[in-house]
Structure 1
């Protein structure tokens, strides 16, 4: 299948987004270490000296640029193409951490990186073309079709059940509760982001969509979903090991996002069975590579208790909705005395 101009634009923006976001972790971590060395108080124990560190702010600006590029990418390319490419930011972060922060990348982690790259190439080659949209009202018709309304209703019902029934009972013992809420809401976030991004794109092209109530409705949905995700993903990251939360969240979020996009935007309509199967295979390869990469990072962390300490690279999920953008491990490496005192602490 030939590439459309919009698909090429979306892929380029998604790749730039992954590069900027992955690099932002390393820049911010360098800033955190420099601030901790200057003040003697690390961010992980309540220090805020990093707010005066220019390198940390450079990392924040880099991350914002990456997020903006990702937002615009959804306005040009299907979600089934853009969303899986987000895994590449983990690779950028892991590789840069290996060379700049001297956080050793395990051989299996390297294999995970290669799997993510290979899966992404397969997805890009077989991705569907973006459907031409001329008005936000067209998106509204897609969003109000019975099949997608059924999906939205199911997501909202499941989120309410998880929040009000399971969260008080087992939210702090079962990682699936908080990550499930984030993933379900995340799929609606991407759909509304794509709708809003397309509306703004049409507006900049001279077809003003801000005069329509639907544009502002999608903006409200984006804000609501993002706030919900921020809340519950922060809870998940604060309660469970990041190396556990990150792959689970990425798998669930990406799977649900692709499902929602296929239902709402009919991404797979007109595609052959072979192309759809290839996309699914590429997606599975990316997921497998992501899990493998995070698993080896967890292995490196566990190994640190027997000698050298290798901090975790920040995760894709952590950079999305973790307050100031720092994961719980995005700080200066703890001393050997601190490691000894934590040795008996369960995760």
Structure 2
């Protein structure tokens, strides 16, 4: 009887894993497409003479195409949220590299960003890195009750993480007026910091909802839901604001890989602190997961700097002038 229950539990965990994997892959398609749609909208606004988002303008809010991009990203984020409810964050987040692959392919078609042989090699490496991540990621998660989750959120380790990323975001905000037009890392660091907190909140929200469905909750579940929903809303609004500014100033091929690297690293750190996902992995799996991540990083920078003969020059020029033709 014990063996049967154990097998049922393992089968259930495996089914959750593959469901989360399918949701994660589908979300990358929607999110990758949304980058291109919103970029086209921002270009239209610039050519029409509107005030750019990087200068504090919000003219893109009147463009239906930007709202389509936002809706596309919303669908992708919903799929991504569902993926976090069923699969570990150490699997779902690194697979975000596939969205950059989708973005690169669409950019070559709709934004006239040439995809060279090196860029195509980057696409292949991105796929290989994603396969390594899937194979080596944890297949089973450490289940926690709502009370245990609250203890971990208010624990010293995770509060210190929040303090560090918040301090870095404040510093970046202070530096943006002077260096924002030359350094994409300032915008991306803020997006990534709040993005990692969004992922942790989404993962915690999924766990709380699971506990509510199974009725294994305490009286704190309702307050936890409100707190997590508010946290997710605030973090997403901050991400959207600074991501729009980054996309307006810099080329998509520069923003997306830098965002992926910083965001993924922060999520891996945060998930190891809050959900302790890495404790269930062997050294071989950890090495394989990190190798897949590194391979994805290499592929993304191949896509960034070798998409066309003038790509690097455009990035250099974008650091010197703020109104070049996107």
TM norm structure 2? 0.77
Are residues 1:261 and 2:278 paired? no
**Alignment partner, residue 25 of structure 2:** 15
Superposition CA RMSD, Å: 3.8
User: Are 1:134 and 1:202, in contact at CA under 8 Å, matched by a contact in 2?
Assistant: no
Contact 1:135 1:202 survives alignment (8 Å): yes
Q: Which residue of 2 aligns with 1:175?
A: 184
How far apart, CA to CA, are the structure 1 residues paired with 2:34 and 2:40? 10
Distance 1:156 1:26, change over 3 A: closer
State the number of aligned residues.
303
Q: Is the 8 A contact 2:41 2:63 kept in 1?
A: no
Matches within 5 A, 1:1-347: 4-23=14-33, 45-46=49-50, 61-96=71-106, 104-133=114-143, 135-164=145-174, 166-204=175-213, 211-297=221-307, 299=309, 301=311, 345=324
C-alpha change, 1:272 and 1:66, in structure 2 (3 Å) is same
Change (3 A) 1:298 1:244: farther
2: CA distance, partners of 1:22 / 1:62: 9
Query: Which consecutive unaligned segments of at least 5 residues does structure 1 have?
Result: 305-341
- In the aligned structure 1, how far is the partner of 2:164 from the partner of 2:42? 42
How far does the alpha carbon of each residue in 1:13-63 deviate from its partner, in whole angstroms, 9 at most, with x for none?
101112333455677899999xx8xxxx9876459999897x987766544
The 3 A distance-change label for structure 1 pair 16 and 213 is same
- In the alignment, the residues of structure 1 paired with residue 280 and residue 66 of structure 2 have an alpha-carbon distance, to the nearest angstrom, of 47
Partners of 2:32 and 2:74 in 1: CA distance: 12
Decide whether aligned partners of structure 1 residues 160 and 267 sit closer, same or farther in structure 2, where only a CA change above 3 A counts.
Answer: same
SS across alignment from 2:270: helix
Kept in 1, the 8 Å contact 2:187–2:246? The answer is: yes
CA apart distance, 1:184: 1.6
- Give, in angstroms, the shift of residue 134 of structure 1: 5.4
SS at match of 2:278: coil
> Is this contact kept in 2: 1:43–1:50, CA < 8 A?
no
Unaligned runs of 5+ in 2: 1-9, 52-58, 315-320
CA contact (8 A) 2:146 2:217 kept: no
Higher deviation after alignment, 15-24 or 280-289: 15-24
Cα contact 2:104–2:253 (8 A) shared by 1: no
After superposition, the Cα gap between the structure-2 partners of 1:260 and 1:13, relative to the gap in structure 1 and judged at 3 Å, is: same
Structure-2 separation of matches of 1:186 and 1:215: 19
Shift of 1:228: 1.8
Q: How high is the TM-score relative to the length of structure 1?
A: 0.72
Q: Secondary structure at the match of 1:87?
A: helix
Q: How far apart in 1 are the matches of 2:117 and 2:124?
A: 11
SS of the residue 1:162 aligns to: helix
Change in CA separation of 1:205 and 1:18 when aligned onto 2, cut-off 3 Å: farther
